[in-house]
Amino acid sequence: MAKTGIVKHPIYLEHKTEIFHPESPQRLQSIYSMLETKDFGEKLVEVPPRFATLDELLLVHDAHYVDRVLDTAEKPRVRFDPDTVTSPKTYKAAWMAAGGVMEAIRAVFAGEIRNGFALIRPPGHHALRDRAMGFCIFNNVAIGARYALKAHHLQRVLIVDWDLHHGNGIQSIFYDDPQALYFSIHRHPFYPWTGGMEEVGEGPGRGYTVNVPLEQGCSNSEYGNALRHLLWPIARLYRPELILVAAGFDIHHSDPLRSMNLTEAGFARMTDLLLQMASELCGERLVLALEGGYNSEALCDSVAMVLWELIGQSVINRREMEQVEDAQYGHIAQLIARVKEIQREYWKTL
């Protein structure tokens, strides 16, 4: 029976931010509690995480920066930037967040699971090669991608980032590298102020960064349509061997950032589309990693909906959602046309 792996571990709760900081242990605690109460059955299995090795971290990060993170060990608090602080055990959580994503990928390639979701923190997509940024310490998804390329001898990894914020860290790490195609759909202009559609990569990486900048207030159908009508045709041309997802839930309508209007079903629908893509293009290999999402209730309800999709027990009405997407295609048609126009220089048949 094809299984879905989840990565969870108490160490991820030991990264303690300051009081009133939105990226709190409570976020993950509520997801872990939800896992106890819902019966996902035997299809959901745990994949135990491990610490990333130093060599693995160095696939993405500078040795000097890794040392700086290690220097925070057992210290009460070190501030990396105005939003990013450590606690005594943050270094361990960060080490194991990166390791958790790698373990989920390893388990997929070993055939132990069909797909997986790393329920980890601290998040990663803003973390740069040489510094922490925006709640992120190590760039978990970028490390996962580099690990997959190296350890599993891949040529092409597709990274889809649906977090509210642009994943500037992932983009910059792979900006000149065609071995990872980074597709980000995000609010723009907005923190971290990168992610314009004209940012397409550089050198041999040109065309391997695809940014879909959205205005505030988008909902399920805009995200569904962007995945169907922009990501999918590009993914077909790219032919990824693995799909990784920087899964942020701060686009939920009741997130305190109040930017987008997705419902729980919207996250399920994006997962449904990515599962279809993974099935068509890369032997179903799909691994998600948790990024943002700051309303604990919305976060765990949405994660639950994603998990129902991943285990193949969808609770959404796909047909109905498709019809709404078709009816509302006009909302995003122009934006998709503009991004395609820019990307056609690299993807001739797009």
Q: What is the H or E stretch that residue 327 is in?
A: helix 318-327
331 given a catalytic annotation: no
With CB under 5 A as the contact rule, the residue among 8, 248, 259, 285 that binds Zn ion is 248
For 58, 59, 220, the CA distances from 85, given in Å and listed in that order, are 22, 23, 33
| Window contacting Zn ion (CB under 5 A); options: 6-14, 88-96, 103-111, 286-294 | 286-294
Among 103, 250, 301, 309, contact with Zn ion (rule: CB under 5 A)? 250
Q: Which residues contact 126 (CB under 8 A, 6 or more apart)?
A: 133, 134, 135, 136, 165, 167, 168, 169, 192
Which range, of 44-52, 141-149, 272-280, 284-292, touches Zn ion by CB under 5 A?
Answer: 284-292
Q: Of the ranges 197-205, 241-249, 258-266, 338-346, which one interacts with Zn ion (CB under 5 A)?
A: 241-249
Yes or no: say if 129 and 172 are a contact pair by the CB < 8 Å rule: yes
Q: How far is the CB of 297 from Zn ion (least distance, A)?
A: 17
Nearer to Zn ion by Cβ, of 87 and 259: the residue is 259
Residue nearest to Zn ion according to CB distances in the complex: 292
* Least distance from Zn ion to the Cβ atom of residue 252, Å: 11
Length of the chain: 350
How far apart, in whole angstroms, are the C-alpha atoms of residue 91 and residue 67?
A: 10
The number of residues that bind Zn ion (CB under 5 A) is 6
Q: Select the span of 143-151, 196-204, 228-236, 240-248 touching Zn ion (CB under 5 A).
A: 240-248
Q: What is the Cα–Cα distance from 247 to 233, expressed in whole angstroms?
A: 21
Exactly one of 15, 61, 125, 126 is catalytic; name it: 126
Distance of closest approach, residue 255 Cβ to Zn ion, in angstroms: 9
CB of 79 to Zn ion, least distance (A): 20
Per-residue b or e along 142-177, where b marks 16 or more CB atoms closer than 10 Å to that residue's CB: bbbbbbbbeebebebbbbbbbbbbbbbbbbbbbbeb
- Report, in Å, the least distance between residue 23 CB and Zn ion: 9
Q: Which residues contact 66 (CB under 8 A, 6 or more apart)?
A: 54, 57, 58
User: 29 Cβ partners below 8 Å, 6+ apart?
Assistant: 13, 296
The yes or no reply on residue 195 touching Zn ion (CB under 5 A) is no
Task: Name which of residues 132 to 191 contact Zn ion (CB under 5 A).
Answer: 163-165
Six token digits for residue 246: 């920087």
Spatial contact of 50 and 103, defined as CB atoms under 8 Å apart: yes
124 is a site residue for Zn ion (CB under 5 A): no
Where do contacts with Zn ion occur on this chain (CB under 5 A)? 163-165, 248, 250, 292
Q: Please identify every residue annotated as catalytic.
A: 126
